[in-house]
Amino acid sequence: MTLPASTASTLSYDNKDCKYSVFYFKFHALGACPRALLCFGEAQWDNKVQDLSEWPQIRDSAPFGTLPILLETDLTTGKTIEIPESGAIERYLARMFGLLGDTAREEVLSDVFYAQAVILDTKYIEMLRCTFEEIRMKALEQFLGTTLPNWVKACERHLKENGNTGHFVDNKFTLADIKTAVVLDTYLALDSEKVLNPTNCPCLWKLKKTVDTHPTYAAWRKSEQFKDMDEVVQAGVGALMPLDIKKSHIFS
Ligand SMILES: N[C@@H](CCC(=O)N[C@@H](CS)C(=O)NCC(=O)O)C(=O)O
């Protein structure tokens, strides 16, 4: 991780003229939220796809041997910052683009529901992806029957209290909205219709629509690059469990 010595000025969230590169593999997973945030920030960015076959030779040059990595280039000074760890990248971009709320109250609300989306996604990966073939279908039943509905219920309760604005925090976009909409893509693609539908979770449905119809993000979701990654996910995850990636494109 190559943060410059004087991080105070680098992290002061002034209006720097920057461009960004997201280094990740050719699928959504942990690359999806950083890419979405760059759309919401109307940033100048590109998607650097790491070929899986070349990854073993490159792994040692990554700070923690993993991707995603965000590269920020200050266009005025030419200085670069390399940031690993998806959570750090997401919070950094959210802060840069004013997506962490404007007060401590707003920030903590965003943090809580951001954390919930991260925890749910970690459970999904542990229960369904990194598991044995023999128990995957049983784990899917438990995820769709208990884990996902519990998360949906908690989100609905808060979103309703917030007036069903399509946001977790008042009437403004925060990291929590964006992370939630991103992780929902995966669950919508599963056989989750009983849980994820406009009658059972009207407020989450509205949040998903509010995020996915943001013009810059909607354009990214319709891009060839995004479609290519959809295909990779369909082939890879679809080989492990029933999945139809088209179902994640309800609104864009
Ligand atoms: N805690 C890290 C985990 C990153 C991670 O495990 N990335 C995986 C892809 S999803 C990876 O780079 N795998 C390649 C490897 O481990 O060699 C983060 O959140 O960024």
Index of the ligand 1 atom closest to the CA of residue 30: 10
**Would 186 be classed as within a structural domain?**
yes
Q: Is 91 found in the same domain as 31? A: yes
Q: What is the DSSP string of the chain?
A: ----S-HHHHTS-----EEEEEEE-SSSGGGHHHHHHHHHTT-EEEEEEPPGGGHHHHGGGSTTS-S-EEEEEETTT--EEEEESHHHHHHHHHHHTT-S-SSHHHHHHHHHHHHHHHHHHHHHIIIIISS-HHHHHHHHHHIIIIIHHHHHHHHHHHHHHTTS-SSSBTTB--HHHHHHHHHHHHHHHSS-TTTSSTTT-HHHHHHHHHHHTSHHHHHHHTSHHHHHHHHHHHHHHHTTS---GGGG-S--
Index of the ligand 1 atom closest to the CA of residue 56: 17
Index of the ligand 1 atom closest to the CA of residue 25: 9
Q: Is 145 found in the same domain as 67? A: no
162-194 pLDDT, tens per residue?
Answer: 999 999 999 999 999 999 999 999 999 999 999
| 102 CA distance to ligand 1 middle (Å) | 31
Q: Is 216 found in the same domain as 123? A: yes
Binding site membership of 86 for ligand 1 (Cβ less than 6 Å): yes
Average pLDDT over residues 25-31: 98
User: pTM here?
Assistant: 0.94
Average pLDDT over residues 195-206: 98
- Token readout for 126 is 């542990």
| 72 CA distance to ligand 1 middle (Å) | 19
Q: Is 235 found in the same domain as 136? A: yes
CB 178 within 8 A of CB 33: yes
- Distance, CA of 238 to CA of 51 (rounded, Å): 20
Average pLDDT over residues 11-19: 66
The answer for 207, left when phi > 0, alpha when psi is -120 to 50, beta otherwise, is alpha
Index of the ligand 1 atom closest to the CA of residue 31: 10
Q: Is 225 found in the same domain as 138? A: yes
Domain containing residue 219: CATH number: 1.20.1050.10
CB 54 within 8 A of CB 29: no
pLDDT at 8: 40
Domain containing residue 20: CATH number: 3.40.30.10
Which residue is closest in CA terms to ligand 1's atom 19? 86
* Structural domain that includes position 232: 104-248
Binding site membership of 30 for ligand 1 (Cβ less than 6 Å): yes
pLDDT at 54: 97
Q: Is 134 found in the same domain as 77? A: no
Binding site membership of 160 for ligand 1 (Cβ less than 6 Å): no
Q: Is 137 found in the same domain as 62? A: no
Binding site membership of 67 for ligand 1 (Cβ less than 6 Å): yes
Index of the ligand 1 atom closest to the CA of residue 67: 12
| 83 CA distance to ligand 1 middle (Å) | 13
Strands 69-74 and 44-49: unpaired
Q: Is 241 found in the same domain as 120? A: yes
